[in-house]
Structure 1
Amino acid sequence: MKTRASTLLKQETARISPYFKKEPVKTIKQEIKIQDIPAQGVPDNVDVDLKVLFVGINPGLTSAAKGHHYAGPTNHFWPCLSESGLVDRKVTFTDDVALPALYRLGFTNLTARASRRQTDLSLAEQREGIPMLNHKFETLRPRVACFVGKGIYEIYSGKKCNTMGLQPEEHNIKWLSADGEKGETVMFVMPSTSGIVTAYQKPDKIK
C-alpha cells in the first residue's frame, strides 16, 4: 500500500512540476518552418555552355532552407554524382555553387516554389515553368538537359517517357552559339534521386 501511494505521489509530482516535463523530440520536418523557406526556393547555379544542366521538379523544404539543390538527407543525388564519372572527387550539396565553373555542371528546377512534396504543386503550376526552362536552354546552351525524374520530363514534353536515357531528337532544343554556330541541347532522363522513389536503386541512378 505504501509503495502504491509513493508511486502515485511521484506520478502527480511529475505531472505538475515543470522540472519533470519531457521536451518533445524535434524532427527535421518540425524544425523547418514555412516562414524560414525563401519564396523563390533555391537559386539556379548555372553558366553558359554547360556540359550538363540538371533539371529538378522543384526544391524540397530542406533544400530551400539550406539554399542548395538536393540537400535532403535521404536524396541520393550527390552520392550518385560522386560516382558517375562526371566529377573526380566526392561532392555534396554545398558544392552546387562551384560545379558550373569547375565541371561545367549546372542546376535548375522546372518550378521555383519549394514544397514538402511534388504533389503539393498543381499540374498547371508546373507547366508554367516550361517557357522559362526553354529560355534557359536557348540562352545558356547546355549540351545536355538531364531531367532528374521521368515524371518531370513527361510534364515538360507532354508525352509519355518510355525509356530512360537519351530522348528522341525531335525534343532537342536548337540554339545559336555566341559565334553564330548552330547547336542543340539534347534531352536525357534519369531516375528520380528522391529517397522515397524505390523503383530504381542507386546503381540505376548512377547510370
Structure 2
Amino acid sequence: MPTPSNRTAPTSARRPTRAELLAAVDRTVPDVIGPDLRVLFCGINPGLYTAWSGHHFAGPGNRFWPTLHAAGFTDRRLQPAEERLLLPLGYGVTNVVARATATAAELAPQEFVEGGRVLAEKVARFRPRILAVLGVGAYRTAFAHPKATLGEQPERMGDARVWVLPNPSGLNANYQKDDLARLFRALHEAAHA
C-alpha cells in the first residue's frame, strides 16, 4: 500500500544515497492541482528521486521542466521545488499511478487501470480544460485505448480534451529535447488558442 510522502524537499543540492532512494519505494508525491486549470499534466508515476525529493519530475535526467520552458509554458526553467508556481499559470501535475518505483516497468497493468479510474475522478472534480498524459503506453493501458498515438485524442474525459505526449523521463531515448519541445509546443498552442 503506498504511503504518502511526508518528506519536505532537501534543503541542499546534495544527491540522495542509495538507501534513501530505496526507502522512497511506494511513497507518493502530492498533486499540484486546482480547479479549472488550462492543462493538467499527468506523469506515469513518481520515480524514486522524485519521491525522495517530494517534487514532481525531480530526477536529474528528467526533461519535463526544461521542456515546459522550451515549449512556452513557463517564462524560465522552473526547478522541481518551484512546482507550485505552475498553478497561477493555469497548469497542474498529477500521476496515473501514485506510488513510486524505480521504473514504470515495475507497475502492473491493473495499477494503470485503477490509476486511470482515480484520474478520471480528479478530472471530474477539478475540471481542467486539457488532460495531458505523458506516456503513450500508460494512456493505452489505463484507458483501454491500445491504438492511441501521440497528440490530441478523439475521446474526452468528461469535458476535458485529452492529449498524449511522450514521457519526458531521461530513460525515454525515443524523443530528444527538440522533439519534446515541438510536441509540447503543439499542446501549448492548443491550450492558448
- The residue that corresponds to 2:176 in the other structure is 201
Measure the CA separation in 1 of the matches of 2:22 and 2:166: 28
- 2:25–2:101 CA contact under 8 A, matched in 1: no
Percentage identity across aligned positions? 36
The partner residue of 1:152 within 114, 138, 142 is 138
AA at the equivalent of 1:81: L
Instruction: In structure 1, list runs of 5 or more residues that go unmatched.
Output: 1-26, 175-183
- The residue that corresponds to 2:9 in the other structure is none
- The residue that corresponds to 1:32 in the other structure is 20
- The residue that corresponds to 1:82 in the other structure is 69
- 2:45–2:95 CA contact under 8 A, matched in 1: yes
- 2:25–2:102 CA contact under 8 A, matched in 1: no
AA at the equivalent of 2:136: K
- The residue that corresponds to 2:191 in the other structure is none
- 1:149–1:189 CA contact under 8 A, matched in 2: yes
- TM-superposed CA distance for 1:51, in Å, is 0.5
- The residue that corresponds to 1:187 in the other structure is 162
Quick check: 1:64 aligned with 2:48?
A: no
Quick check: 1:91 aligned with 2:86?
A: no
- TM-superposed CA distance for 1:28, in Å, is 5.2
Q: TM-score, normalised by structure 1?
A: 0.76
Measure the CA separation in 1 of the matches of 2:17 and 2:64: 20
Q: What is the number of equivalent residue pairs in this alignment?
A: 168
Label 1:134 to 1:189 Cα distance change in 2 as closer, same or farther (>3 A): same
**Structure 1, 45-54 or 191-200: larger mean CA deviation:** 191-200
- 1:137–1:185 CA contact under 8 A, matched in 2: yes
**Structure 1, 88-97 or 110-119: larger mean CA deviation:** 88-97
Matches within 5 A, 1:17-28: none
Label 1:162 to 1:126 Cα distance change in 2 as closer, same or farther (>3 A): closer
1:2-44 C-alpha deviation (Å, 9 max, x unpaired): xxxxxxxxxxxxxxxxxxxxxxxxx856243433x27541110
- TM-superposed CA distance for 1:97, in Å, is 1.9
- 1:51–1:105 CA contact under 8 A, matched in 2: yes
1:142-176 C-alpha deviation (Å, 9 max, x unpaired): 011001111111112211244311111xx2022xx
Q: TM-score, normalised by structure 2?
A: 0.81
Label 1:111 to 1:49 Cα distance change in 2 as closer, same or farther (>3 A): same
Instruction: In structure 2, list runs of 5 or more residues that go unmatched.
Output: 1-14, 184-193
SS at match of 1:113: coil
| Structure having the higher Rg | 1
- The residue that corresponds to 1:122 in the other structure is 108
- The residue that corresponds to 1:178 in the other structure is none
SS at match of 1:172: strand
AA at the equivalent of 1:73: P
- Supply the RMSD in Å over aligned alpha carbons: 1.7
Higher RCO structure (Cα 8 Å, ≥6 apart): 2
SS at match of 1:74: coil
